[in-house]
Structure 1
Amino acid sequence: MDKPVLTKEERKAKREARRQKQRENNVLRASKMHKLRLTADATAPTKKQAAKTTTYHIGCSGWFYWHWRNAFYPEGLATKDWFAHYAKAFKTVEINASFYSWPTEATVKTWLKQAGRKKFVYTVKACELITHTKKFKGTKELVKDFGYIATILGDRMGCFLYQAPPSYHYSPARLKTIVSQLQNGQRNVIEFRHASWWNEKVYKALKEADLIFCSCSAPRLPDELVKTADDIYIRFHGKKAWYRHDYTQDELSEWAERIKNAKAKTIWIYFNNDFGGNAISNAKALVCLLKIKP
């Protein structure tokens, strides 16, 4: 029997119901991870390790995209083998699913298992419960609880990415709130989606707190590299269109020069322009421009 065809409004309502269920589950999952953190032997957060030489981590924002089938993943390759194929090309990935759904302990252990013995590092996007629902207000414990992921991942842990909402404009009070919530000794990155945050007061506060400002290549945001810590972090969303832009060689060359001139100890770069597999080809092209050995 054929499934009934839903109207646009019905699809939207179904999607919103699913998202609301996710938000409710996030509270429950956060509570479970809180208990895990408190009962674990290693209760202290995993501290970030300073790099002795310049280290590059370049990959994509996510790796499981159906539209990468036959574009990046060979025809006939089972989905269970997609990560292994991705890990042959890149040694890091930015987990975005964790924004919508707070990861369980079992999920994080699955990340460990699928990496196997490969030299592979995960960057994890913080759950929207912290950044969008509570907007960093009274989230110190939640930040610590989400940070327990680093305890599980150990040396496979990269950064925690905290993305603020586009409607979240700069104010001194909001800046103070963010800094007070995220100072926990881990490698924390803040991505702003409103141009008002590109200002010297923000840079100064983040430098003093050793927090990483996320530089963005995205429509209507300043196209520049900002360094507030020993590490730099860049997300490529698309210069002219979100998620769809295919970066030219000249555009990537310009960023390569910025990256070299920043003289950072550790560089984290993730391409989020997944449409048409652009993220894959652009990430590989930047690796070549930076002359990074595989």
Structure 2
Amino acid sequence: MTGRIRIGIGGWVYEPWRGSFYPAGLRQKDELAYVGAHLTATEINATYYSSQKPATFAGWAKAVPDGFQFAVKASRFCTNRKLLADAGESVAKFVGQGIAELGDRLGPILWQFMPTKKFDPEDFGAFLKLLPDSADGVPLRHALEVRHESFDDPRFLYLARQAGAAVVLADHPDYPAIRGEDVGFSYMRLMRAQADEPTGYSATDIARWANQASEQAARGDVFAFFISGAKERNPAAAQAMIVALE
């Protein structure tokens, strides 16, 4: 069965999007609903910095239509540490804060590691065993964004596959573009948007990423987010890719 392709951006509160992506005069409290009407996914950034209330997640879920999904960025207190094996308490706090309130709007959890974090097979393997399969009955999917070249290692790919975790494919000039093995879904973060390109990426590059997403959809759901780079262009890039997939 072919998976569903969801295309989005990082977050939804960004001043330069007002009057460019968001119509002039749109109330800030209506911006998430606007994202939900024009894109098919977004990453939640706020959860990286602090815990949120269950009611907040429930409100976000109600703001978007059926089929839309949020990728939830895991707390920095889980991943930005010397020993990942010691993250159990932080992982439990993050998972238990109320993300289950997103229900069927919950996409993957994004576990992002610092560019300075090197691959330690034993420690990383212990960390992966801390990641739960569900939260309050809602199934969880995990995506790993590693940024140090030491992770370009068959042992890392093996550990990720054994854990059922997707390896994030990063399109970035400084991070390794590591292609993970099939775990039933895939995750891309596209970070080379250019300010002088109205759609961030050229039409050729948009088509290339759309084709890759289509190929990956044969093996499960696909999540692709335009983030970073010339951030003001990312909504246009996401919309262009959605059109390219039609």
Q: TM-score when scaled to structure 2?
A: 0.85
SS state at 1:160 partner: strand
Q: Distance in 1 between matches of 2:211 and 2:95?
A: 33
Q: Distance in 1 between matches of 2:14 and 2:235?
A: 12
1:279 to 226, 229, 234: 234
More helix per residue: 1
Which residue is equivalent to 1:166? 115
Higher RCO, 1 or 2 (CA under 8 Å, sep at least 6)?
2
Q: Trace 1:130-169 onto structure 2 (pairs within 5 A).
A: 130-133=78-81, 136-148=84-96, 149-169=98-118
CA distances 1:144-181 after superposition (whole Å, capped 9, x unpaired): 33223342222121111110111101122233233222
Which residue is equivalent to 2:209? 255
Q: CA deviation at 1:53?
A: 3.4
CA distances 1:192-246 after superposition (whole Å, capped 9, x unpaired): 11122122211111111211111111122234643341100011122789xxx92
**Is the contact between residue 44 and residue 71 of structure 2 (CA under 8 Å) also seen in structure 1?**
yes
Amino acid corresponding to residue 125 of structure 1 in structure 2: K
SS state at 2:168 partner: strand
Amino acid corresponding to residue 104 of structure 1 in structure 2: K
Structure 2 stretches of 5 or more lacking a match? 135-139
User: Is structure 2 residue 177 aligned with structure 1 residue 177?
Assistant: no
Q: Trace 1:223-242 onto structure 2 (pairs within 5 A).
A: 223=177, 225-238=179-192
Which residue is equivalent to 1:7? none
Q: Distance in 2 between matches of 1:128 and 1:278?
A: 26
**Aligned CA distance change for structure 1 residues 240 and 68 (closer, same or farther; 3 Å):** closer
Amino acid corresponding to residue 12 of structure 2 in structure 1: W
Query: How many corresponding residue pairs?
Result: 236
Amino acid corresponding to residue 129 of structure 1 in structure 2: F
Q: Percent identity?
A: 27
Q: Trace 1:34-49 onto structure 2 (pairs within 5 A).
A: none
**Is the contact between residue 193 and residue 229 of structure 2 (CA under 8 Å) also seen in structure 1?**
no
Q: Trace 1:1-294 onto structure 2 (pairs within 5 A).
A: 52-115=1-64, 118-133=66-81, 136-148=84-96, 149-184=98-133, 186-223=140-177, 225-238=179-192, 246-262=200-216, 263-273=218-228, 275=230, 277-291=232-246
